[in-house]
Amino acid sequence: MRFRLPRPYTILITRTGETPIAIDLRPLPLILMGLFLAAVPVVWVAQLVGHNGKLAAENENLTETANEVLLELETLDSEVEDLRERAGLPENNSSALPPADSPQGGVAGTADAESLFELAKSRMPQIDTKLEAQVRPALESTLAEEAAQAAALPNAKPISGKLEVTSEFGLRRNPFGGSRFEMHNGIDFRGPTGTPIYATADGIVVKAERSGGYGKHVIIDHGYTYETLYAHLSEISLQAGDRVKRGDLVGALGSTGRSSGPHLHYEVHRNGQPVNPRYYLDLEDTLAPQN
Ligand SMILES: [Zn+2]
């Protein structure tokens, strides 16, 4: 008669009042012991294994510690899985323990401290490899991407200090007289000529010139579909092609082009369409608009 290897089976690690965790194993001695001691609480096992009360207590402590280590590992593993998900990697359950509510078969028994520690030791490198070889590189590029995206969001103030809004985004009466309405594609901030104007996000200057109604103006492409425009400047401090960081000097406030007085006309474009800069700016401490 041929000796047949035992089939893989599941051990349940139970702690009073806590959800049991299950581990697939096939160590023969454990199976035999498990068959014999099936359903016997950990304490009883410890008492059987130990030669006296002290040993039994120690063994019980060890078993408990081993259980805790395994639970910690399980938590760590699921955290690594979360990171993996955030990094956009496909789900991988190959090394994960089956969820407690998944169908489980085999003989349920209790495991001794030594086996549990062995199991913990074998699981550590698995988790470590997963983290180092797969999750970390992907996560780093995800974080870099998230940082670049955050840096492209035009959420800084174009003028430092308290901002005085003189005209909001949207339909408004023609500021040069008449009863006709016009679409105002940005927000106007009043200030003294020469006031420094700053880039509201990282990007590349795509236009820095004097032309049309905008007068001296600068357009910055921030990537991720965002562009900003700074118009009616008295001076331009950048030229096309320059790389800028959020807060870099763009120029100075002025009244060039179609302007009724010194102010900054500031626009935010998303996918080529002007959007209300207030979506991105925290303008809580601005003075109320006058129109
Ligand atoms: Zn304007």
Same-domain check for residues 14 and 125: yes
Residue 244 Cα to ligand 1 midpoint, Å, equals 23
Domain with 182 in it: 164-279
Q: Is residue 158 assigned to a domain?
A: no
Paired sense of beta strands 263-270 and 187-190, if any: antiparallel
* pLDDT exceeds 60 at position 106: no
What is the predicted pLDDT for the residue at 117?
82
62 vs 1: CA distance, rounded Å: 40
Q: Is residue 213 assigned to a domain?
A: yes
Contact (Cβ atoms closer than 8 angstroms) between residue 190 and residue 261:
yes
Query: Residue 43's pLDDT band (boundaries 50, 70, 90)?
Result: low
What is the predicted pLDDT for the residue at 3?
45
Which tens digits make up the pLDDT trace of 275-286? 999 999 876 655
Same-domain check for residues 173 and 147: no
Task: Provide the residues around ligand 1 (an ion) whose CB is within 5 A.
Answer: 188, 265
What is the predicted pLDDT for the residue at 225?
95
Query: What average pLDDT is seen over the chain?
Result: 79
110 vs 255: CA distance, rounded Å: 82
Residue 148 Cα to ligand 1 midpoint, Å, equals 29
Residue 204 Cα to ligand 1 midpoint, Å, equals 23
Contact (Cβ atoms closer than 8 angstroms) between residue 289 and residue 165:
yes
Query: Residue 81's pLDDT band (boundaries 50, 70, 90)?
Result: confident
273 vs 269: CA distance, rounded Å: 5
Same-domain check for residues 197 and 82: no
Out of 151, 178, 197, a domain closes at: 151
Q: For residue 173, what are the β-bridge partners?
A: 181
Q: Is residue 91 assigned to a domain?
A: yes
Residue 166 Cα to ligand 1 midpoint, Å, equals 9
Residue 219 Cα to ligand 1 midpoint, Å, equals 15
Total count of domains within the chain: 2
Q: What SS3 string covers 164-187?
A: EEEECCEEEECCCCCCCEEEECCE
Out of 105, 124, 151, a domain closes at: 151
* pLDDT exceeds 70 at position 119: yes
Residue 177 Cα to ligand 1 midpoint, Å, equals 15
Q: Is residue 1 assigned to a domain?
A: no
232 vs 175: CA distance, rounded Å: 15
Which tens digits make up the pLDDT trace of 156-205? 999 998 889 999 999 887 767 666 788 999 999 999 999 999 999 999 99
For the ranges 45-54, 103-112, 240-249, the maximum mean pLDDT occurs at 240-249
Same-domain check for residues 205 and 128: no
Would you state the torsion angle of the CA atoms of residues 202, 206, 208, 209, taken in this order, to the nearest 10 degrees?
A: -160
What is the predicted pLDDT for the residue at 185?
95
Residue 279 Cα to ligand 1 midpoint, Å, equals 17
What is the predicted pLDDT for the residue at 109?
52
Contact (Cβ atoms closer than 8 angstroms) between residue 73 and residue 120:
yes
Same-domain check for residues 198 and 273: yes
Residue 150 Cα to ligand 1 midpoint, Å, equals 26
Query: Residue 2's pLDDT band (boundaries 50, 70, 90)?
Result: very low
Same-domain check for residues 122 and 184: no
State mean pLDDT over 126-133.
83
Q: Is residue 128 assigned to a domain?
A: yes
Which position has the higher pLDDT, 68 or 8? Answer: 68
Residue 180 Cα to ligand 1 midpoint, Å, equals 16
SS3 call for 108: coil
Q: Is residue 125 assigned to a domain?
A: yes
For the ranges 11-25, 50-64, 72-86, 109-123, the maximum mean pLDDT occurs at 72-86
Residue 202 Cα to ligand 1 midpoint, Å, equals 23
Same-domain check for residues 98 and 180: no
Residue 242 Cα to ligand 1 midpoint, Å, equals 25
Same-domain check for residues 203 and 137: no
237 vs 255: CA distance, rounded Å: 16
What is the predicted pLDDT for the residue at 32?
47
Q: What is the pTM of this model?
A: 0.61
Cα 265 from chain centre: 34
Same-domain check for residues 182 and 258: yes
Query: Residue 123's pLDDT band (boundaries 50, 70, 90)?
Result: confident
Same-domain check for residues 28 and 57: yes
Which tens digits make up the pLDDT trace of 199-212? 999 999 999 999 99
Which position has the higher pLDDT, 218 or 63? Answer: 218
